[in-house]
Chains A and B, each alone.
Chain A
Amino acid sequence: MKPTTFFKRALALLAGSVLFGAGPVKLLNVSYDPTRELYQDINAAFAKQWKAKTGVDVEISQSHGGSSKQARSVIDGLQADVVTLGLAYDIDSIAEHAHLLPANWQTRLPNNSTPYTSTIVFLVRHGNPKHIKDWDDLVRPGVSVIAPNPKSSGGARWAYLAAWGYALKKNNGDDKKAQEFVTRLYKNVPVLDSGARGSTTTFAQRGIGDVLLDWENEAFLALDELGKDKVEVVTPSLSILAEPPVSVVDRVAAKHGTTQVAKAYLEFLYTAEGQEIGARHYYRPRSPEVAAKYASRFAKVQLFTIDEVFGGWQKAQKRHFDDGGVFDQIYLR
């Protein structure tokens, strides 16, 4: 065999395997910390549905970490077909810094591209020895609060904004009083971990602090793992509607030829099946039917949105969490 024919044949073989022998379609979902268990179930259910519908196998890999860290990896070249992060600002950053998806990505799927929501609740020690019922109890002297650093953790930013929103409401919109309240709260924080899981470990494994500010789903997960004889979940009277959004990363998906399946994957989250899986993992469903079915899982709590109180993520980020912002001021005084 002449070398040229050999190459031609090898090439034909290669092309054939790409066109016909196509192995499973591969998707990479880059997500934030607490969704590990959720997406394991979603992926299995979606793969089954997609196979039944199109006959194609789909293999979904997951990557987890702090929300901003994950966004930065995508900016730096992690090949994510879809991102499912802790807050819209992080996906905005991918659009802004790497132009991998259009700036209006959040309008492409229903409900601000957020198929499920969550909120911020308190995890306290068994029997609630410090009688922590609401946000006011967190600023009492002698109460030690565990929360991650809002500059590096998505969940912590939601927690910070929830406290701020509560104080605003209580003081009839007095911004100064809200700042005072949040400052007092963070003076009660002895350790600032960089992410939600780190704080959960500090609180649960190392036994530090009286109360942990956490994602609702993460708090219930900790409750399941640690047992009801160790910790309790306390839901405050008012909290923030945390919207962890999802999006296809257009340019990466186009390059991989996975745009269609990536879209279907995210749309699956909105179906009854996807919503039920979410609810089982303590994410609040958007669908009213599924929400009604799982109503007993979620405490009734008055929720406000970031748009209502802070005018959206861009504004909130700039004022509170950027360098020299309000959060930095707490520690400079």
Chain B
Amino acid sequence: MSLPFKKPSILPGFWPAFSYTILYLSLIVLIPLSAVFLKSVTSTWSHLWRVVTSPEVVASYRLSFGASLVAGMISVVVGFLVAWVLVRYQFPGKALADALVDLPFALPTAVAGIALTSLYTENGWLGRYLAPLGIKVAFTPLGVVVALTFIGLPFVVRAVQPVLADADAELEEAAASLGANRWQVFRLVIFPIVRPALLTGFALAFARALGEYGSVIFIAGNMPMKTEITPLLIVTKLEQYDYAGATAIAAVMLTASFLLLLAINALERRTRKFMTMG
């Protein structure tokens, strides 16, 4: 029987590096996560089941996963555009714009939440112009999407930017000289190159959005059944001393997120493979 590993590369240090990775993952990721699962089994299964399937909690899954998905998709479109502009064009203040992209990373999310809320309430700077059109942002699911897009955007930009910068302009020129129009160049040359990066960016933005708490609770309004996100319900359960219930919801969320990320990663690997087979 052979080892279940592919033959390690000729680079030395495979085993130390591999053991370190496993140790690190265990300490930082796996042990805290298993604590979540262990803590939730301190209660009876019927209680846990009742908690994770109660209407309020189910409504929050819908909002959390739905809004994160939408926000991730918006981030992909807008993030690609931003990355494109930053890579392909020269304009005054480009360095500034480039730095601005990272700002949502550094800003405490509560600050972002408060700022977005003041902008979008019915008497806020933007909200007052949207209100007559019948568009309410603050204290609606739309507000949740806005906050999640804000924090998700840099992930997509930073994932796509280097790939786009590395893409050879010659490929596009070659395509054009062979008679491809602009749309065909984009669809058949540029898009396949950046697709894995877009997927990575989407996965990161989506995962970040799922776990986001600080900015959302300010803009969401936190109405039961309507605008309560799942992380808020975990906190609420904790405040009611229902530790088991809180960890049960956390476990559901973890499992679902893990499966989704696994699927996205698999998709990403497939596109990469497809590309190299070319």
A residues at B contact (CB < 8 Å): 66, 68-69, 71-72, 75, 93, 97, 149, 151-152, 190-194, 205-208, 321-324, 328, 330-332
B 62-99 binary contact with A (CB < 8 Å = 1; else 0)? 00000000000000000000000000000000000000
Does B130 make an interface contact (CB < 8 A)?
no
- B224 A331 Cβ-Cβ under 8 A: yes
Distance in Å from the Cβ of A11 to the closest Cβ of chain B?
A: 35
**Residues of chain A with a CB closer than 8 A to B245's CB:** 323
The 7 closest A-B pairs by CB, nearest first: A331-B224, A68-B239, A191-B221, A152-B239, A192-B222, A331-B225, A93-B241
**Residues of chain A with a CB closer than 8 A to B55's CB:** 332
Other 20 A-B pairs with CB < 8 A, given A152-B240, A331-B225:
A66-B239, A68-B240, A72-B238, A72-B241, A75-B241, A191-B139, A191-B222, A191-B223, A194-B236, A206-B117, A321-B240, A322-B240, A323-B51, A323-B242, A331-B56, A331-B223, A331-B224, A331-B226, A332-B56, A332-B225
**Residues of chain A with a CB closer than 8 A to B232's CB:** 194
Distance in Å from the Cβ of B63 to the closest Cβ of chain A?
A: 14
With A323-B54, A328-B56, A331-B56 in contact, is A194–B222 under 8 Å at CB? yes
Distance in Å from the Cβ of B67 to the closest Cβ of chain A?
A: 17
29 contacts between A and B (CB under 8 A): A69-B239, A72-B238, A97-B241, A151-B240, A152-B235, A152-B236, A152-B240, A190-B139, A190-B221, A190-B223, A191-B139, A191-B221, A194-B217, A194-B222, A205-B118, A206-B121, A207-B123, A208-B121, A208-B122, A321-B240, A322-B240, A323-B51, A323-B54, A323-B242, A323-B245, A328-B56, A331-B56, A331-B223, A332-B225
Q: Which A residue sits closest to B124, measured CB to CB?
A: A206
- CB < 8 Å: which of B51, B226, B236 contacts A151? B236
With A193-B222, A194-B222, A332-B225 in contact, is A206–B118 under 8 Å at CB? yes
With A328-B224, A332-B55, A332-B225 in contact, is A149–B121 under 8 Å at CB? no
Q: Which B residue sits closest to A97, measured CB to CB?
A: B241
Distance in Å from the Cβ of B120 to the closest Cβ of chain A?
A: 11
**Residues of chain A with a CB closer than 8 A to B242's CB:** 323
Instruction: Give A205 to B223 CA distance when docked, in angstroms.
Output: 20
Distance in Å from the Cβ of B102 to the closest Cβ of chain A?
A: 28
**Residues of chain B with a CB closer than 8 A to A191's CB:** 139, 221-223
